Amino acid sequence: MTEAAPRYDAIVIGGGVGGLVAAAHLAAGGFARSRLRVVLVEARNMLGGTAENLPFGDGFRGPVGGHAIYALDPASIGKLRLARRGLAFAERDMALVALRQGGRHIVLTRDVYACRATIAAHDTGDADRFPRFRREAFALARHMRSFWDGTAGAAADERPVLDRLARLSAAAWLDGWFASDALKAALAFDATSCGFSPLEPGSALALIWRWGLEACGLQGGSAQVAGGPGALAAALAKAAQASGVAIRTGAHVEAILYEGGRVVGVRLSTGEMLAAGVVLSSLDTRRTLLHLLPPEALPFGAAAALGAREGARAPASASVLLALNRPPAFAAGLSARALRGRFVFPERPDAIAEAKGAALTGLMPAELVVEATLPSEADPAHGPISQHVLSALIRFLPAQPAGGWASHRTALKDRLIAALEVFAPGLAQSVVGFEVLTPDDLAARYGDMSSQAADALGRLLAAPETRVRSVVPGLYFCGGAAEPATALSGRAARLAAALARADAKAEARA
């Protein structure tokens, strides 16, 4: 490290939600004084990462990531004063709508007794059992929340619960409560956000994690940001700048510099070096440790262990945006509240498991696993007047299908429309524009995130500090890879900033 290199107290790599939250907390909190000199470097020419609004079609825009926000850190919303910086919610408590053939959709809202009518269309016994199930499941999730929040370590009575849920599948758990596949598939769907199929051990734990989270102060809720996820990125950028963070876009980090047994800064692709004794990376864990650090920085055997897992790729996801000139046909039977919710299918838990199995072998699934929203229902700014936007996240796709994703782009869009037409006949005739982001497209824009989903159970069982603190002194993780599951959160970023401050203070005292 040359003495001419600009010196900072901390460097944050990556300008996504995690990087912005970490930088803002670091600069505002300080180590031994009120403010720090913090620089955030982002390779792209824009901030936000997957929290992005994508223009498409003729005057439409849609969310690339974050069409439903469920993990955004409430402590960061308050401390960074995001509401004052423009963060607002178009829908604060999204319903979960499990689309079913014949219009017998299951609509799950906070009012458990209102849920019973839609459940009873499939099984009256399930409808009667649902309020008790919801009450007990949410109580358990509330109890376990402190483990993932970092507000407390796992108490003696929590570790046995964690271990039991880690061995339990969502399907087996739900089988003990309900008879209807339609309801069980609806309830199990949220395990897919952690990379699980409902038949896998640990998928029950994934559901508890999801149901323990808060959105807009509501346990187990999901919300839609007014202005799309890009508005969240804009509010976070304002918070970082107000804290004094220096933000540099178009600055690609080529290496993390290591001297004397700790990190000392970064080198950019231009050759410029930035000096700091603390580096927070929002990039993938293996990319950070294996590709940015020199080999001598890692303890013996660590590089080999990481490299052995690097080739394994988890199933991937894709995002498809459809511009519609009229609402989908399933809208006719749903309330305005339900239309602002999340629409999920397939109709059987086994179909989700089969999709993941196919993806792991490089095959396209027989049935798509889809979470869709109609963001224009809650926020008309997504498209022209009287037009509609449908945002679909398709999970459990092969990382690299035969022939590559370039040859499957149009077919994926057509398959999604065909799957939706089962519930919304005539949808194809209403499509006036579309955008398809395949797994390759998402990796090109945001980096390969497949390895973040590779160790889903390990991340859910790991204490926050072990996810955030790296094996290299001075280096911390603050992005999606440091969360129990990849999501627009910022919780790990806040914890990383606090841990970096605590470590720096302890070193200063020593």
State phi, psi for 112 to the nearest 5 degrees.
Answer: -65, -30
pTM score: 0.94
Buried b (16+ CB within 10 A) or exposed e, 477-488: bbbbbbbbbbbb
Measured CA to CA, the distance from residue 282 to residue 476 in angstroms comes to: 9
Which residue shows structure tokens 């059987």? 348
pLDDT at res. 307 = 60
CB neighbourhood size of 167 (10 A): 12
Least confident of 44-58, 226-240, 298-312, 347-361: 298-312
Cβ neighbours of residue 206 under 8 Å, at least 6 residues apart?
170, 190, 191, 193, 194, 196, 456, 460, 485
Is it the case that residue 364 has pLDDT exceeding 90?
Answer: yes
**Which tokens is 51 given?**
């929290």
Is it the case that residue 97 has pLDDT exceeding 90?
Answer: yes
pLDDT grade, residue 34 (50/70/90)? low
CB neighbourhood size of 140 (10 A): 16
pLDDT at res. 495 = 95
CATH number for the domain running over 10-88+226-311+454-509: 3.50.50.60
Is it the case that residue 264 has pLDDT exceeding 90?
Answer: yes
CB 33 within 8 A of CB 505: no
Q: Give the pLDDT mean for 233-256.
A: 97
pLDDT at res. 300 = 72
Q: Give the pLDDT mean for 101-108.
A: 93
Is it the case that residue 152 has pLDDT exceeding 60?
Answer: no
DSSP class per residue in 188-227:
HGGGGGGT--TTSTTHHHHHHHHHH-EETTEET--BEETT
CB neighbourhood size of 261 (10 A): 10
Measured CA to CA, the distance from residue 77 to residue 238 in angstroms comes to: 13
pLDDT grade, residue 312 (50/70/90)? low
Is it the case that residue 308 has pLDDT exceeding 60?
Answer: no
Q: Which residue has the higher pLDDT, 161 or 185?
A: 185
Least confident of 136-150, 342-356, 370-384, 412-426: 136-150
Least confident of 238-252, 343-357, 437-451: 437-451
State phi, psi for 255 to the nearest 5 degrees.
Answer: -160, 150
Is it the case that residue 457 has pLDDT exceeding 90?
Answer: no
pLDDT at res. 453 = 56
- Domain map of the chain by residue range? 10-88+226-311+454-509, 111-217, 313-447
Is it the case that residue 233 has pLDDT exceeding 60?
Answer: yes
Measured CA to CA, the distance from residue 490 to residue 478 in angstroms comes to: 8
CATH number for the domain running over 313-447: 3.30.519
- Long-range Cβ contacts of 131-139 (<8 Å, 24+ apart): 133/177, 133/178, 137/207, 137/208, 137/211, 138/211, 138/219, 138/220
Computed over every residue of the chain, the mean pLDDT equals: 91
